[in-house]
Amino acid sequence: MSSAPTAFGAASHVASEVDNVFIFILVITAFFFVATQGTLIYFVIRYRHRKGRPDVATSSVITNRILEGIWIGVPSIAVAAIFFYGYTVWEDIRTVPKGAEEINVTARQWLYQFQYPDGRKSINEVRVPVGQAVEFNLTSADVLHGFYLPAFRIKQDAVPGRYTYVWLRASDPGSYDIFCTQYCGVGHSQMRAKLIVMPPARYRQWYRQETAKAEKVLPLADKGKAVVQRLGCLACHSTDGTVKVGPTWKNLYESRVLLENGKTVIADDNYIRTKILNPAATTVKGFPKVMPTFKGIIKDDEITAVIAYIKTLK
């Protein structure tokens, strides 16, 4: 597999958009740099005191409203434009397209562990197909880590006890760096992984082969189903829309949930995780405050599996 340029070459459409923002800011700031420093250097040369001349300024101007208006107004417009352009492209970075494939990433001192939907795990190497949107769900097993793909211009910290995400859609096959940018101790600079981007057909073939080799491992959602049965969650929660002691899980994921205190929250990964570990924190309107905590009973990777299972209940 050829090694793609990882330094300057943008490896996705979003990455090129980010580069465009960079160039836009570069042009604006270069203008201000040349304008101010050019004037500064010109003034130093032009108005330098020369021997034999009277040592007195030839102007005593201390204010000029028009000039000051311009140098408040023009930079204000420039920074407003930079903010807005940066914001719009960032919306693309943060908005995961529908139908994105999900890969769970657990960062730990000092490696990245990836888990595919079929339940397989790999260390420091993850494969994705060209042209397919892939979402990485990040969490950390210990301290903070920074999941950084320079060629894709994306980065997100992995935080213990919560989920964060990044997504990408690779344009070209190749091998790309994954670095750790959030200081995490002795092995920080050796915490490097590879993203291997494959042509779709070859990727599907590879994925089938790997799934077959690893058939003893349950797919993530199936593992979640087993966890749910073992822990007795279904005594209170249904999967088919029936209302029991607690709310049903059907269509729960990413839905709006009205809480007792009148607020609404989105039932995302972090919400479900908190409900499992600290159910007293929020109560859904119309339901009793009776759910026990599963802290110390359920493991981190089991929570991830349960979330994967709940996602399938549509």
Token pair 């204000």 in the structure block, residue? 76
| Closest distance to another protein from the beta carbon of 43 (Å) | 4
Of residues 149 and 221, the one with the C-beta less far from another protein: 149
Gap between the Cα atoms of 157 and 136, Å rounded:
12
Greatest alpha-carbon pair distance for the chain in Å reads: 98
Only segment of 118-126, 189-197, 233-241, 284-292 that touches another protein (CB under 8 A): 189-197
Beta carbon nearer to another protein, 56 or 212? 56
Min. distance of Cβ 195 from another protein in angstroms? 13
Contact between 69 and another protein by CB under 8 A: the answer reads no
Q: Are 218 and 231 in contact (CB under 8 A)?
A: no
Least CB distance to another protein at residue 149 (A) = 9
Binding residue count for another protein, defined by CB under 8 A: 84
Binding residues for another protein restricted to 126-145, rule: CB under 8 A: 142-144
- 253's tokens: 């994921």
Strands (E), 88-216: 101-108, 111-115, 121-123, 125-129, 133-140, 145-149, 154-158, 164-169, 174-180, 193-198
299 three-class SS: coil
Question: Footprint of another protein on residues 143-162 (CB under 8 A)?
Answer: 143-144, 146, 148, 150-151, 153-157, 159-162
- Give CA–CA dist 205/209, Å, rounded: 6
Segment interacting with another protein (CB under 8 A) among 77-85, 223-231, 232-240, 283-291: 77-85
The 190-229 site mask, x for binding another protein (CB under 8 A), equals: x-x-------------------------------------
Q: Which is nearer to another protein, 20 or 229 (CB)?
A: 20
**Distance linking the first and last C-alpha atoms of the chain:** 39
Residue 304: which of 257, 278, 270 has the closest Cα?
A: 270
Give the containing element (helix H, strand E) for 258.
strand 256-258
Distance between CA atoms of residues 254 and 273, nearest Å: 13
For 24-38, give one letter per residue: b (16+ CB within 10 A) or e. Answer: ebeebeeeeeeeeee
Q: Least distance (Å) from another protein to the CB of residue 209?
A: 31
Q: Count CB neighbours of 308 within 10 A.
A: 24
Other CB atoms within 10 A of residue 246 CB: 18
Q: Give the nearer residue to another protein in terms of CB position, either 122 or 181.
A: 181
Residue from 102, 177, 210, 222 in contact with another protein (CB under 8 A): 177
Residues in 9-68 that interact with another protein by CB under 8 A: 17-18, 21-22, 25-26, 28-29, 32-33, 36-37, 39-40, 43-44, 47-49, 53-64, 67-68
What residues numbered 259-278 form the site for another protein, per CB under 8 A?
278
Q: Does 189 bind another protein (CB under 8 A)?
A: yes
Give residues 101-130 in contact with another protein (rule: CB under 8 A). Answer: none
Is 217:119 a contact under the CB 8 Å cutoff? yes
One residue of 4, 86, 206, 211 binding another protein per CB under 8 A: 86
Q: Which is nearer to another protein, 131 or 160 (CB)?
A: 160
What residues numbered 275-294 form the site for another protein, per CB under 8 A? 278
Question: Of 77 and 212, which has the nearer Cβ to another protein?
Answer: 77
